[in-house]
Structure 1
């Protein structure tokens, strides 16, 4: 199998007899996008649940999602609490087989052209400085402890009117991440470089440094879409793995995580809207009396200290007859027993079941409820499927608790801005 075939992989696809060096194989496996194992005279390269694109020297590897790159970006945005992200592929000039990193980079660059059309937004930033003259507010304690009676320099706190704001730091960090990705169109790369030059005064934080969350306000309303896209770029899967002199870098995204985050986000919103309880993700519980064994269900609905329902998401396709791996059922039975529940819920990515997905477990009063969420459907249909799952969770856990009445939808995010996204895009932050 030729090396060029690695540019046209899809989820779950396996290639055999690929000509790779050992360093390339180890570097590619380290990115998690694919795994490479020796087989005969070549290497077996297997794509799993990760999608994206990486470059390793002159070698390019792309894994396309089954639902399409634009759809994955919409699902990822919705998982971050962003509603109805519409992307016009024709307007953006995207190819039918464009990978996820290309779609994100093109969308970010085009939106930046609109949001930063006039100039980057300045703002006040509070800084502690040592100056020869009084400016701002004197820090009397620091002056006494650091200067020991010396008049200058003076320790002051200054509110600087500057381009170096938290929002602009986030935008420049996202721009730099996108510039490192392979396969970005030349025009898009040039546009990203222009954005980087516009933000040249903005501090570049060290790699791995955490940026503070941005806050939506009236003043930065025109940046909301661009900031959300920056969040996707920074919180996505920028990866790099080095083996000796061989470096593999690019953008990889775990579809299992996207599915779990999407379901959790929509369920959380529905719990806040109609109850009962609230949703907890990846909560840890001790399984044995000595607390040496723990369990960590994907999703738990609780009201105070009382657990109402438990569910696990599985980014797997069910068989035609609706069967699923036994290990999944063992896991949920354990969760239900530990949490004192009579029902456990398994949420799969796939076509709707043609029969009731309820299994009564012999020797106990526990039943397993199987649900399927079809990710090939339009986003409103996916939300309706998850809302139906929430309804079945409520039925399984008994009478509904009082509703909190919270919607979590800031009104200022409902206003249209920008040209490439629909007016309803980015309606509600997480």
Structure 2
């Protein structure tokens, strides 16, 4: 087994594998591939992180791409986007240079083993089936429809106390997915086998079906850390690529989507709590009156009924000294369509105060924010609050939307050359 490990947005040069393996690497979307002048393979990772196993004949390759922000911070971003109350801190015991799949597998196996140590959670589940005797309640309509004139078997409905409850179904589904992934350490794989044996009477979730909600209560509180990790594992995108005798399988997250989902939730918490109204993600709209152009979806919008108060686009990239022209043009289109004089671009990079660019001929200001995801939680939370203040400052000053006035955080003025 050959292991290739990269960080996001890294270039890596290696000995050229077979053409089939090179094609399968590119098909995983973890890397782009090209050849150097001397015939070596050049791999360029992007914003996709995860792991894939590629098998082509006798050649076996494991490809891992790690996030720069570290595994613990990535898991926190993923979890916070789904449940802000449940993810107050990062998972413990994870180091920044761990690969994604081993880290998730170790954390999940540890949390699940602890959850199951007092015993497997059980609960009542309503069962409908045909039995040779009456148990619970007779389903008369079903009996007459399925077996008119026959006494047995009997269509019944009853409550059965067993471990086949949603909490265990989620854990079992995560175990099954992890056991198929590359890079799980042998000791952790053994732990997953023991967990699967403990949950042998549990029905896994159907592939593609929504993950059931499981509200915390006094019975399942010990399951919550394991359930949070299980939901993240099930949320990851599976890789399945088959071309002839070449197979690529794995598990990835798109950091662009991770950052956008987390930022939507973080701004919703910061803005709705302090200023009110509604934060919406991926609002669909048209740029033209005749509805001929394709739909566009700004990442984040803030609404007071039918009136848009602010528009925000999340960018998981480092913009350089000034934002890329395409980002400016995109935000200008959003502001024009939504009748706004101010739009916000938020980049996942370290930087100074927000800068506002006044665009000629439109009256639109585009405010550029930089958000450092690697900072401690208190600083990251402060950055979010500062951005929320800048976004809300115009509406608060005009008295249109705020429930309570926030501090004035006017951005520095700059210029953008067309």
Q: In structure 1, what is the equivalent of residue 74 of structure 2? A: 72
CA distance in 2, matches of 1:266, 1:211: 23
CA distance in 2, matches of 1:276, 1:39: 55
CA distance in 2, matches of 1:342, 1:127: 58
2:119 matches 1:132: no
Alpha-carbon offset, residue 197 of structure 1: 0.7
Higher RCO, 1 vs 2 (CA within 8 Å, ≥6 residues apart) = 1
Q: In structure 1, what is the equivalent of residue 228 of structure 2? A: 228
Summarize the Cα distance change of 1:403–1:96 in structure 2 as closer, same or farther, 3 Å threshold: closer
Q: In structure 1, what is the equivalent of residue 174 of structure 2? A: 174
Q: In structure 1, what is the equivalent of residue 28 of structure 2? A: 31
Superposed CA deviations along residues 182-215 of structure 1, whole A, max 9, x for unmatched, are 2222211111111011001111344333332222
SS in 2 for 1:203: coil
1:115-264 correspondence runs (5 A): 115-264=115-264
Q: Is the Cα–Cα contact under 8 Å of residues 33 and 52 in structure 1 kept in the other structure?
A: yes
Q: In structure 2, what is the equivalent of residue 313 of structure 1? A: 314
Unpaired runs of at least 5, structure 2 = 405-418
1:323-334 correspondence runs (5 A): 323-334=322-333
Q: In structure 2, what is the equivalent of residue 423 of structure 1? A: none
SS in 2 for 1:231: helix
1:40-51 correspondence runs (5 A): 41-51=39-49
Summarize the Cα distance change of 1:291–1:14 in structure 2 as closer, same or farther, 3 Å threshold: same
Q: In structure 1, what is the equivalent of residue 89 of structure 2? A: 85
Alpha-carbon offset, residue 18 of structure 1: 4.0
Q: In structure 2, what is the equivalent of residue 296 of structure 1? A: 297
2:54 to 53, 56, 61: 56
Alpha-carbon offset, residue 376 of structure 1: 1.3
CA distance in 2, matches of 1:241, 1:192: 25
Superposed CA deviations along residues 163-191 of structure 1, whole A, max 9, x for unmatched, are 11111111000011112222222211111
Runs of 4+ in structure 1 over 6 Å off: none
Q: Is the Cα–Cα contact under 8 Å of residues 109 and 188 in structure 2 kept in the other structure?
A: yes
CA distance in 2, matches of 1:390, 1:346: 12
CA distance in 1, matches of 2:251, 2:403: 40
Q: Is the Cα–Cα contact under 8 Å of residues 122 and 161 in structure 1 kept in the other structure?
A: yes
CA distance in 1, matches of 2:272, 2:159: 38
Superposed CA deviations along residues 296-345 of structure 1, whole A, max 9, x for unmatched, are 100001122111110100011121x3x11100000000000001111110
Superposed CA deviations along residues 118-148 of structure 1, whole A, max 9, x for unmatched, are 2210111112111122111222222222222
Unpaired runs of at least 5, structure 1 = 405-430
1:323-362 correspondence runs (5 A): 323-353=322-352, 356-362=354-360
Q: In structure 1, what is the equivalent of residue 102 of structure 2? A: 102
Q: Is the Cα–Cα contact under 8 Å of residues 273 and 403 in structure 1 kept in the other structure?
A: no
Alpha-carbon offset, residue 155 of structure 1: 1.5
SS in 2 for 1:8: strand
Question: How many positions carry a matched residue from both structures?
Answer: 394
Alpha-carbon offset, residue 111 of structure 1: 1.0
TM-score, reference length from structure 2: 0.89
Alpha-carbon offset, residue 226 of structure 1: 0.9
Q: Tell me the C-alpha RMSD between the 2 structures.
A: 2.1
Larger deviation: 179-188 or 278-287? Answer: 179-188
CA distance in 2, matches of 1:306, 1:138: 54
